[in-house]
Amino acid sequence: MKTCPTCQLKYPDNYAICPDDGSALQEAFSWTDGKIVRGKYQLIAKVGQGGMGSVYKALHIAFGELRALKVIAPELLSDELFVKRFKHEAVITRRLQHPNAVRVDDIDEAEDGRPYIVMEFIDGKSLKKLIREEGPLPVPRVLSIIKQCASALDAAHKLGMVHRDIKPDNIALVDTPDGE
């Protein structure tokens, strides 16, 4: 999203000049390290990129807590159906309260007009990375991972949710006092 510095109107990214007054448009907001989103979250680093958007590690400034912000890609902002599905994902996922599923805290809209989902930040290693580093895993460990994933998926399915993107990249392994 771009903004006219003269009239303050917003335009899509493919516009360069304000159609009303001819001023050169400026980036309304950029998702870069250190940037403050909605006066609440300071971006620390981009931690993921996918077809639908990006995920950032952020600090909730008032609480001093880490969060993950998932924001849709700018080119998808004009797809009203996609934006509606993205927001619906946040609402449904917020209802999922399970120890093996990421917790959704909020949904909001950034200064650039893009909706974003606020989630707990998971500081773990992806299953894909673990397999790449360690190779075949011992059967008891595999069974433990599968059991936890299946339990989270079962809870999601009971809420009518379908994940649609289960893969080793999207499974995070976290060390806790109770185990992995």
Contact residues for 23 (Cβ-Cβ < 8 A; gap 6+): 4, 5, 6, 7, 17
Q: Which of 21, 106, 165, 169 is catalytic?
A: 165
67 residue type, one letter: R
Q: What's phi and psi for 125, nearest 5 deg?
A: -110, 135
Strand 2-3, strand 36-37: pairing: unpaired
Tell me the C-alpha distance between 86 and 167, whole Å. 20
* CB-based contact 71:125 (threshold 8 Å): no
Query: What is d(CA 71, CA 161) in angstroms, rounded to the nearest whole number?
Result: 20
Per the annotation, the verdict on 106 as an active-site residue is: no
Cα Rg of the chain, angstroms: 19
Q: Are strands 26-27 and 10-11 parallel, antiparallel or unpaired?
A: unpaired
- 152 in helix, strand or coil? helix
The catalytic residue positions are 165
